[in-house]
Structure 1
């Protein structure tokens, strides 16, 4: 996850009370996630990446106005657009890393740390290519929560060992506060970006349970999880659209 953008309230993770949960639950009524494999939606995602990274000074201009890399079309790659009020507001790419598919940016960047863990059976979700359109944000500080919810849905579906996030050091405090992330490797440069991102790991298991309890808007039903990650046959011109289901779990509680 390349960055969390601007406008995140610093106290949000430290004391996430009912006001934050209530606000995001209300926003989720107007949010849909799209699992995209091709067509105009994918081009729109690549364009949002490019504009976001260019604005943040982490990418250089190019003639295409798009940002795509060699990890986008891997068999274990999931590219999502987050739409609020039917407008693309953010995007995130996830990789599910296992012995069958040991592919991701961090697997290439940190083989000395990760290769033996995957070979012994550990699995990971990796989140990268996080990009936002702050001009389309429905409310200050909400886009990171709406977007990173994708990683929580993935974690509930795959049940992996932990989540990997290459992030800029200045964003590390956010991930530590919200997800209990810890740094496991120093920063490295990756193709196409101008800044280094250190590798952080978020343990799952009990930590995932506590995070879901603290932030119930991260919860999801098995149906939502399957729609996102069970590899349905997707028409590249008609992306899979998924509606958040956290409200149903809240109503059932």
Structure 2
């Protein structure tokens, strides 16, 4: 099988999975606790955190005014989660800014909009059943960047995960790894110009695209800027569009 055919088959498989997934912005205390419990289980399994009595993993950024927590559900079961902060000069709050502020501060001061997805976790058993689940989860960062008209998209990741973001989102490391609050392992900052990256991603991985309707359903109809010209994404079908 050629590389092109393999990528096409992979994209179709992930798109089919996305059709089964309900993307939800988490609001209730019960749902938040379920997310924090999933985080704890995932980070503990990786050896990234120490055990605690609550069996929950949360931090102050979970309550930041510019942050949103999302859960992805398959057949009503929580399968993965990711948190997204949209940082601007007016609301300059994001985990990456707290750690890499000397690198990112100039961008914020210049008026750029930065999207910082963090706390990316996937249920261990469901990830084995659905190999495309991590890609469906990372898609939330693209969706958030599109909605916010982002200038710069980020990922703060462990060293062994850099290749994933380079391959999927064309991101490159920025600076050296640093210690990250509440985590045992050093974290790398990776970034890319979203306007320059977006079409390359949609062309290679069409499942990353989203409609304005889906963006507004998850983030609200308020727009930071005028919408970009439509990138030609087909409407999302299935539960992902209706949930």
TM-score by length of 2: 0.87
Gaps of 5+ in 2: 223-233, 239-243
Deviation at 1:196, TM superposition (A): 0.9
Deviation at 1:30, TM superposition (A): 1.2
Return closer, same or farther for 1:129/1:25 CA change in 2, 3 Å cut-off: same
Gaps of 5+ in 1: 1-12, 233-243, 249-253
Give a deviation string over 1:130-157, Cα, whole Å, max 9, x none: 1111202374531211101111111211
Name the SS of the counterpart of 1:246 in structure 2: coil
Cα RMSD (Å) = 2.0
Report the counterpart of residue 201 of structure 2 in structure 1: 211
Report the counterpart of residue 31 of structure 1 in structure 2: 21
8 Å Cα contact 1:14-1:178 kept in structure 2: no
8 Å Cα contact 1:84-1:138 kept in structure 2: no
Report the counterpart of residue 64 of structure 1 in structure 2: 54
Q: Which of 160, 168, 179 pairs up with 1:189?
A: 179
Give a deviation string over 1:46-91, Cα, whole Å, max 9, x none: 0000000000100110000100001110000010011112111111
Pairing 1:135–2:120 present: no
Name the SS of the counterpart of 1:205 in structure 2: helix
8 Å Cα contact 2:35-2:81 kept in structure 1: yes
TM-score by length of 1: 0.84
> Which is richer in helix?
2
Name the SS of the counterpart of 2:144 in structure 1: helix
Q: Which of 199, 202, 215 pairs up with 2:192?
A: 202
Name the SS of the counterpart of 2:150 in structure 1: coil
Pairing 1:227–2:217 present: yes
Q: Which deviates further from its counterpart, 48-57 or 139-148?
A: 139-148
Report the counterpart of residue 239 of structure 1 in structure 2: none
8 Å Cα contact 1:168-1:198 kept in structure 2: yes
Deviation at 1:16, TM superposition (A): 5.5
8 Å Cα contact 2:42-2:121 kept in structure 1: yes
